[in-house]
Amino acid sequence: MTEQLTRRRFLTVAAGGATMLAASGCGATYDVAGGFLGPASGANNHTLIYWNLLSGGDGAHMQSMEAAFRKANPKVALDATVLEWGNPYYTKLAMAIRAGSPPDVAIMHLSRLPGFVPAGLLDPYDPHLLAAHGMHPSDFTPLAFRKAQFGGRQMAIPLDTHPFVQYFNTKLCRKAGLLDSSGMLRPITSPDALLTVLRKLKAQKVTPAVCDQINDPATPWRLFYTLYSQAGGKVLADSGKRIVLDRSLSLKVLGFIEQLAKEGLMNSNNDAGGGVSLFSDGTAALYWEGEWNVDVFQAAKLPFSMQPFPTIMGRKASQADSHTFVMPKQPHADPERTEMIYSLIRSLLGQSLTWAGGGHIPAWLPVRHSAAYRKLKPESNYESVADSAVYDPSAWYSGSGSNLENYAGGAIAGVMTGAASPAAAYDEMHSALVSLSTQPDPV
Amino acid sequence: MSTSAVPAPAVRDARSRTRHSRARGFTGFGFVTPFLVFYVLFLLLPLVLAVVFSLFNTSLALPGLGRWEGLHNYGELFRDSYFWSSMWHTVLFTLVSTPVLVVVSFLLALGVYRRRHGQWFFRLAFFLPYILPSAVVALVWLWIFEPGYGLADGALHLVGLGAPSWLGSTSIALYSIVLVTVWWTVGFNFILFLAGLQEIPQEVYEAAEMDGASRSTQVRRITLPMLGRTVTLVTVLQIIASLKIFDQVYLMTQGGPNFSTRVALEYIYDTGFTSGRVGYASAASLVLFVVIAIIGFAWLALVRRQERGV
Amino acid sequence: MSAAAVRSSTAGRRSRPLSQRVFPHVITGVMIALALLWLAPVLWAIDTAVKAEPDTIKIPATWAIPHLTFSAFSTDFSASDIGRWYINSAIVSLLVTVFTVITASMAGYALSRQRFRGQNLLYGAILAGIMIPPQALMVPLFREFQAIHGLNTYWALVLPQVPSPVAVFIFKKFFDGQPPELDQAARMDGASWWTCYRRIALPLSRSAVAAVSIFTFVWTWNNFLWPFLSSTNTPMMTIPVGLGTVIPGEGITNALVMASAILGALPLVVVFLFGQRQIVEGVAGTGLK
């Protein structure tokens, strides 16, 4: 009877198991033993594990770049995984490193390095190896390359700079008389000038500007931080231990944002998807966001162009970040694998023109300064921003998709939707910063 | 019967009984040992560790216990408005979803238990969601709530209503999660109520009907009282499960928009794994554990009293 | 009741008012509508999965399928590691189920049939474990396995999910309900407890084993949080973790994502269809007791 019982139990589960195995069988080379013995054992030395958070339009470009690498390197099995953008990605990456089996190479935002480097979670690059693979410091956007250095060691290799920019619908703007002879918007150099432009567009019965506020704290943060930095403001000091957020400057910027929302010059009830829709179907004339949506609008055959966000508050500054390649700290050194990593990075950098098609400014100067890139319109319109980019304040709790962006962005979004006053938003931002900066530093 | 015949076997039995009970005792505990090994290693030990960690500034990124904090973590916790708002969101979620889940499942069971044919169809429809993994539920509902393309917006469009921002509005997002949870878990309560209802003998209802009792009176006077224990059980299980909610929130909104759906466990995850503050997160999870334990013990006391009353 | 009252009520039953005759059918109609409402999300997922991607982004959303295609399902196997996740989930769920049934039935049997010192206290201590929310233990568990370099292995996935006080409770309750004569006879013949357990108790407890097995299998398969934390490597993920973490494909992926969701749920639906009776009885049984 025990036999009957065991048999029955096994049959049910085996039936399920057989179905699954049959379904999954083909092509899945699987290492069940490795599952029991641990990842270090029997590791396939020719598999390169590469993590990134590039979903969406630019993700497609990265995948074709990966395909090109695979074609040129048939002996290397490149295992690329796309994970969700933001905190989930970085949490997973940190945990994987702590768990002792991280990916071989990963994409990391430049602004996130302070949360990883001090804890020793990343391996530095070897300048000799870099040179041997054809990568020299002079080949990269200086600002990004320098920011990836900690204690004299190169901790990340920048792939691009992706700033906050202004998309504009050329048809609608021409009708409002805002374009110059070359088809670019005439320069807007002060808050009043921007208000004038927006009011002119509003008179044309179009939505003047769109900048996401709902369920998207990053974009409001980018808008605020761009204007605030143009006015010369700083947010943090001492690697995030001191808050230097200036109250009157913040209120000035937030007040301007409030005015845009109140006067109906900026849409106040859309999320990221809604923002894309509003601009791509021609409802909105201006769209303020990172440059990575260029593919979507080109596919929609929209008459549009792009340019740096107008400098209206003083100096040239645009909030930006950079995707970089980092090498998570490995439990055992493996020179063969390291060679493959450098090869992969060099290969992807060499395909920066493809990458630029997704909207990002290549950090690889041979491409960035090339004629082919300059011909890439509208992507090359804002190329100069790479040198005046303002990265998120440096702190372990800061960076793209971090708690700082989430808390501060949430507060700023309140002003954009009309749910909060500038003073209330400032207080919320400030107390969030206090809370974040006084937490014991886990790195 | 001679007096000698009785004591001798008794003495013999007593001796063999002691030998037997010693043997039994050894095997008895031995039988439980495999289970106990797992229990100690993976339930008790982590609990003890959680208490230990909560007294230090243990970090995810760094090895060792970290700096001694004593009760400092707890002090910070009680002053932490983000923690308390996450507890509040958890309580609010529980307060809203529990009555809905209890009442809806009861009504569904009521509508189904007397059927002679087709019960399997209703069991399938209402219970199927319960066996789906949270990731599947999250993916399906994220798609349903997709602005414009999703079923929710489409359905509202059909009846000419405008669509709210299901997961994007700070005031609505939590209720959207309640909606998803109701769809997902009502089946469990439904089955419990179904079984409870089917245990009530038909004769009781027939007698009442003969006395002229209307259907609703029958429900009020017979069904509800006889289901008392089931209702209590369902309610308490529901409350405890709601307090432990995590999966749907993490997968669908990650506590957003603007932390309006951040529940206690999501806060603990954020603190422990995203910010890497293992010690602080342990303190928070112990506080949550105490809250759940209090409710659990209160229920046990209630049930014990109910049973004594019966 | 007077004869008149009985007569009037039986008379009433013979010619019931229209409302009473229609009422049951209204209820049926309402229940069918509700059942369809409950099935709608799953049907919508299937509907999307068999559409071509461009057809999934129509406004307003529609059920119509202009081009029926199953390519999303095959793409999912090549675009993500779902094949591996199936194997992982199968292995983990199977192992947890086997270990749980064995350890819990042994413990339940001993606590029910045998007499030894402190067994009531032990049973109480085990039951108290039901109170412990597993989520409170995530952080220390992670550290435990991190310390022995055990993360990203099957052991990390399987072992912490084995101790189940509820399973012990179910088995003890079951054995309590069995007549004690059965193994008493064997015991008198000198059989050891282990033999009694293996040859008599276990075969008789088929329904309890089935209930616990199915429950454990489903619950383990669906468990998200711990596998999410302990399996950071994509090849070691279980189905829920993979579905909830990795973004498959590129461009518009609505059909692909729905296909992956359906594939992820399929084994459980199969288990449910085969073991429906046990699941339902198990839920009802544990609840009522």
Q: Domain containing A91 — which CATH number?
A: 3.40.190.10
For the cut 90, the answer to whether the pLDDT of residue B136 exceeds it is yes
Distance between CA atoms of A227 and A310, rounded to whole angstroms? Answer: 9
For the cut 60, the answer to whether the pLDDT of residue A48 exceeds it is yes
Beta strand A207-210 pairing with A149-150: unpaired
Of the candidates C50, C71, C92, which is a domain's last residue?
C71
Which segments of chain C have a pLDDT < 70?
1-16, 19-20, 283-289
- Which residues of C, range 226-245, sit inside 8 Å of A by Cβ? 229-230, 232-236, 245
Beta strand A389-390 pairing with A318-321: parallel
From the list A219, A392, A365, A184, the residue with the least C-alpha distance to A291 is A219
Which are the contacts of A93, defined by CB distance < 8 A and separation ≥ 6? A51, A102, A103, A106, A108, A116, A328
Q: Which chains touch C (3 or more CB pairs under 8 A)?
A: A, B
The whole-number pLDDT of residue C4 equals 47
If asked whether residues C67 and C85 sit together in one domain, one would say no
Q: Pick from A393-397, B116-120, C200-204 the range whose average pLDDT is largest.
A: A393-397
Q: Which residue has the higher pLDDT, A21 or A225?
A: A225
Distance between CA atoms of C160 and B134, rounded to whole angstroms? Answer: 20
- The H or E element that residue C66 is part of is none
Please, are residues C61 and B151 in contact by the beta-carbon 8 Å criterion?
Answer: yes
Which chain C residue lies closest to B53 (C-alpha atoms)?
C140
Of the candidates C71, C92, C119, which is a domain's last residue?
C71
For the cut 90, the answer to whether the pLDDT of residue B139 exceeds it is yes
Tokens of B38: 């797992």
Q: Which of A15, A84, A99 sits opposite C232 (nearest CB)?
A: A99
- The H or E element that residue A161 is part of is strand A160-169
From the list A385, A345, A377, the residue with the least C-alpha distance to A361 is A385
Mean pLDDT value across residues A417-429: 93
B2 pLDDT band, cuts 50/70/90, is: very low
Mean pLDDT value across residues A24-53: 64
If asked whether residues C30 and C150 sit together in one domain, one would say no
Domain assignment present for C63: yes
The whole-number pLDDT of residue B299 equals 76
For the cut 50, the answer to whether the pLDDT of residue A27 exceeds it is no
From the list B12, A199, B93, the residue with the least C-alpha distance to B4 is B12
Question: Do the Cβ atoms of B147 and A215 come within 8 Å?
Answer: no
DSSP state, residue A388: S
The whole-number pLDDT of residue A11 equals 55
Distance between CA atoms of B283 and B73, rounded to whole angstroms? Answer: 7
Please, are residues B296 and C131 in contact by the beta-carbon 8 Å criterion?
Answer: yes
Span A322-345, pLDDT tens digits: 999 999 999 888 898 999 999 999
Question: Do the Cβ atoms of B134 and C240 come within 8 Å?
Answer: yes
The whole-number pLDDT of residue C6 equals 45
Q: Which of C90, C199, C230 sits opposite A2 (nearest CB)?
A: C199
Tokens of C71: 């390519």
If asked whether residues A203 and A316 sit together in one domain, one would say yes
If asked whether residues C63 and C143 sit together in one domain, one would say no
If asked whether residues C67 and C93 sit together in one domain, one would say no
If asked whether residues A136 and A248 sit together in one domain, one would say no
Which are the contacts of B197, defined by CB distance < 8 A and separation ≥ 6? B109, B110, B113, B223, B227
Tell me if chain A has a CB within 8 Å of the CB of C88. yes
The whole-number pLDDT of residue C80 equals 83
Chain B residues with CB under 8 Å of C192 CB are 27
Minimum mean pLDDT range among A432-436, B47-51, C280-284: C280-284
The whole-number pLDDT of residue A31 equals 65
Domain assignment present for C15: yes
Helix, coil or strand: residue C221: helix
Distance between CA atoms of C156 and C149, rounded to whole angstroms? Answer: 10
Whole-number average pLDDT of chain B: 82
The whole-number pLDDT of residue A39 equals 60
If asked whether residues A207 and A311 sit together in one domain, one would say yes
If asked whether residues A194 and A139 sit together in one domain, one would say no
Please, are residues C115 and B28 in contact by the beta-carbon 8 Å criterion?
Answer: yes
Chain A residues with CB under 8 Å of C149 CB are 38, 40, 100
Domain assignment present for C102: yes
Tell me the β-bridge partners of A48: A78
DSSP state, residue C235: G
- Substitution target in A64, A70, A81 with the highest count of C β-carbons within 10 Å is A81
At A56, the amino acid letter reads G
From the list B134, B200, A175, the residue with the least C-alpha distance to C243 is B134
Q: At what angle do helices B173-199 and C254-288 cross, to 10 degrees?
A: 40
- Which residues of B, range 193-252, sit inside 8 Å of A by Cβ? none
Q: At what angle do helices B7-39 and C119-128 cross, to 10 degrees?
A: 20
Domain assignment present for A413: yes
Chain B residues with CB under 8 Å of A440 CB are 57, 59, 67, 277, 280
The whole-number pLDDT of residue C14 equals 53
Domain span including residue A190: 164-320+394-438
From the list A123, C130, A382, A168, the residue with the least C-alpha distance to B299 is C130
Chain B residues with CB under 8 Å of C165 CB are 39
Residue A177: count of CB within 10 angstroms of its CB: 9
From the list A170, A195, A148, A151, the residue with the least C-alpha distance to A363 is A148
Distance between CA atoms of B131 and C35, rounded to whole angstroms? Answer: 16
Q: What are phi and psi of B92, to 5 degrees?
A: -60, -45
Tell me how many degrees the CA angle B170-B172-B174 measures, rounded to the nearest 5: 85
For the cut 60, the answer to whether the pLDDT of residue B14 exceeds it is no
Distance between CA atoms of C198 and C200, rounded to whole angstroms? Answer: 6
A22 pLDDT band, cuts 50/70/90, is: very low
Distance between CA atoms of A96 and A335, rounded to whole angstroms? Answer: 21
Q: H-type helices in A207-246, by residue range?
A: 218-230
If asked whether residues A122 and A96 sit together in one domain, one would say yes
Q: H-type helices in chain C, by residue range?
A: 3-14, 18-49, 71-79, 82-113, 119-128, 138-147, 154-158, 165-176, 181-188, 193-195, 202-204, 206-222, 225-230, 239-245, 254-288
Which chain B residue lies closest to C7 (C-alpha atoms)?
B210
What's the maximum distance between 2 C-alpha atoms anywhere in chain A?
91
Chain B residues with CB under 8 Å of A121 CB are 61
Span B220-258, pLDDT tens digits: 777 777 787 778 878 888 888 888 889 999 999 888 777
From the list C51, B169, B88, C206, the residue with the least C-alpha distance to A214 is B169
If asked whether residues A297 and A149 sit together in one domain, one would say no
Domain assignment present for C21: yes
Q: Which residue has the higher pLDDT, A30 or B279?
A: B279
Domains contained in chain A, number = 2
Which chain C residue lies closest to B65 (C-alpha atoms)?
C143
pTM (predicted TM-score): 0.83
If asked whether residues A105 and A222 sit together in one domain, one would say no
The whole-number pLDDT of residue B233 equals 78
A223 pLDDT band, cuts 50/70/90, is: very high
Q: Measured on CA atoms in the order C134, C138, C144, C149, is the torsion positive or negative?
A: positive
Domain ranges of chain B: 80-309
The domain spanning residue C201 has which CATH number?
1.10.3720.10
Residues for chain C: how many in total? 289
Chain A nearest C-alpha distance from B217 (Å): 46
If asked whether residues A195 and A237 sit together in one domain, one would say yes
- Substitution target in B82, B274, B282 with the highest count of A β-carbons within 10 Å is B274
The whole-number pLDDT of residue B229 equals 76
Helix, coil or strand: residue A438: helix
Q: Which of A88, A215, A273 sits opposite B256 (nearest CB)?
A: A215
Domain assignment present for A383: no
Tokens of B271: 């603190």
DSSP string, C149-185: T-TTSHHHHHGGG---HHHHHHHHHHHHTS-THHHHH
Chain C nearest C-alpha distance from B72 (Å): 19
Residues for chain B: how many in total? 310
Domain assignment present for C262: no
Domain assignment present for A102: yes
Per-residue CA distances from A286 to A192, A198, A262, A279, C26 (Å): 16, 9, 17, 7, 55
Minimum mean pLDDT range among A126-130, B36-40, B295-299, C91-95: B295-299
- Which residues of C, range 53-82, sit inside 8 Å of B by Cβ? 56-62
Chain C nearest C-alpha distance from A392 (Å): 26
Q: In the Cβ-directed half-sphere of A104, how many Cα atoms lie within 13 Å?
A: 28
Q: In the Cβ-directed half-sphere of C238, how many Cα atoms lie within 13 Å?
A: 31
DSSP string, A406-420: HHHHHHHHHHHHTSS
Question: What's the CATH architecture for B80-309?
Answer: Orthogonal Bundle (1.10)
Domain assignment present for C109: yes
Chain C nearest C-alpha distance from B261 (Å): 18
Chain C residues with CB under 8 Å of B297 CB are 131
Q: What are phi and psi of B125, to 5 degrees?
A: -60, -45
Q: Which of B32, B149, B278 sits opposite C61 (nearest CB)?
A: B149
Question: Do the Cβ atoms of B62 and A443 come within 8 Å?
Answer: yes
Q: Which of B141, B191, B278 sits opposite C280 (nearest CB)?
A: B191
- Substitution target in C13, C14, C38, C145 with the highest count of B β-carbons within 10 Å is C38
For the cut 90, the answer to whether the pLDDT of residue A319 exceeds it is yes
Question: Do the Cβ atoms of C86 and A99 come within 8 Å?
Answer: no
DSSP string, A97-150: HHHT---SEEEEEGGGGGGTTTTT-EEPPPHHHHHHTT--GGGB-HHHHHHTEE
Q: What are phi and psi of B70, to 5 degrees?
A: 65, -135
If asked whether residues C37 and C84 sit together in one domain, one would say no
From the list C212, C222, C217, the residue with the least C-alpha distance to C166 is C212
CA A360 from centroid of its chain's CA atoms: 10
Which chain B residue lies closest to C188 (C-alpha atoms)?
B20
Tell me if chain B has a CB within 8 Å of the CB of A268. no
Mean pLDDT value across residues B183-209: 84
Domain span including residue C7: 3-71
If asked whether residues C67 and C91 sit together in one domain, one would say no
Q: Which of C58, C133, C222 sits opposite B149 (nearest CB)?
A: C58
From the list B131, B134, B238, B119, the residue with the least C-alpha distance to C35 is B119
From the list C247, C257, C91, C258, the residue with the least C-alpha distance to C158 is C91
The whole-number pLDDT of residue B278 equals 87
Q: Which of A88, A94, A440 sits opposite B57 (nearest CB)?
A: A440
Tell me if chain A has a CB within 8 Å of the CB of B63. no
ipTM of the complex: 0.83
Question: Do the Cβ atoms of C202 and A5 come within 8 Å?
Answer: yes
Q: Pick from A33-47, A296-310, C7-21 the range whose average pLDDT is largest.
A: A296-310
Tell me if chain A has a CB within 8 Å of the CB of B147. yes
Q: Which of B44, B158, B230 sits opposite C287 (nearest CB)?
A: B230
Helix, coil or strand: residue A177: coil
Q: Say how many Å lie between the first and final Cα of chain A, rounded.
A: 59
Tell me if chain C has a CB within 8 Å of the CB of B199. yes
The whole-number pLDDT of residue B10 equals 44
